[in-house]
Amino acid sequence: MDTEVSFDGNYGPRRISVELANICNLHCSYCFRSDENLYPSHAEFFPLELLRRVMVEARSVANVTRINFTGGEPTLHPQFNETLRTIREAGLTVSFVTNGWHFERVWPALQENRAAVSFVAFSLDGITREDHDRWRGNGSFDRLVRAFTRCYMSKLPFGIKIVIRRDLVDQLEQIAIFAARMGAASLHFAHVMPTSDAIADASALSLDEQRAAEQEIAILARIFKMDIGVDVGYYNIDETRPPCAPLAGVSMNIDFRGRLSLCCNLSGFRGAADEGDVVADLNVESFASAYAKLNALAAAQLQKRKDALAALRTEGSTPDIYNGSPCLFCLQSFGKIPWHRSGF
Partner 1 sequence: MDVSDLKGMLPVDAVVVDGRPGLKWMDMSGVSLAEPFFQQTVERVKTTGNRRRELFTEFDVLLQLEKHLDSVPPTGFIFHSSRCGSTLVANACRAVPNSIVLSEANPIDNLTARFITDAGDVKTSLYSVFLRGMVQALAQRRNGNEKHLFIKFACCSFAQIEHIRRIWPNVPWLFLYRDPVETIVSNLNDVPPWLLDNDRRVLASIVGVSPAEVAAMSLEELCSRTIGSLFSTAQGLANANSMLLNYTQLSVPVISSVLSFFKVSHSTQELETIAGTSRTYSKQASGTRTFVSDTDAKQKLASNAVREAAAKWAIEPYQLLEQRRLEQTARCG
| Residues at the contact surface with partner 1, assessed by CB under 8 A | 1-3, 155, 173-174, 176-177, 180-181, 183, 216, 219-220, 222-226
Q: Which is nearer to partner 1, 149 or 196 (CB)?
A: 149
CB of residue 218 to partner 1, shortest distance in Å: 10
Q: Which is nearer to partner 1, 183 or 249 (CB)?
A: 183
Cβ distance to partner 1 smaller for residue 182 or 244: 182
Q: How far is the CB of 30 from partner 1 (least distance, A)?
A: 25
Least separation in angstroms between CB 254 and partner 1: 35
Residue 87 or 172: the one with the smaller Cβ distance to partner 1 is 172
Q: How far is the CB of 74 from partner 1 (least distance, A)?
A: 28
* Nearer of residues 155 and 341 to partner 1, judged by Cβ: 155
Q: How far apart are CA 213 and CA 119, in angstroms?
A: 26
Rounded CA separation 344/336 (Å): 15
Please report how close the Cβ of residue 141 comes to partner 1 at its closest, in angstroms.
Answer: 18
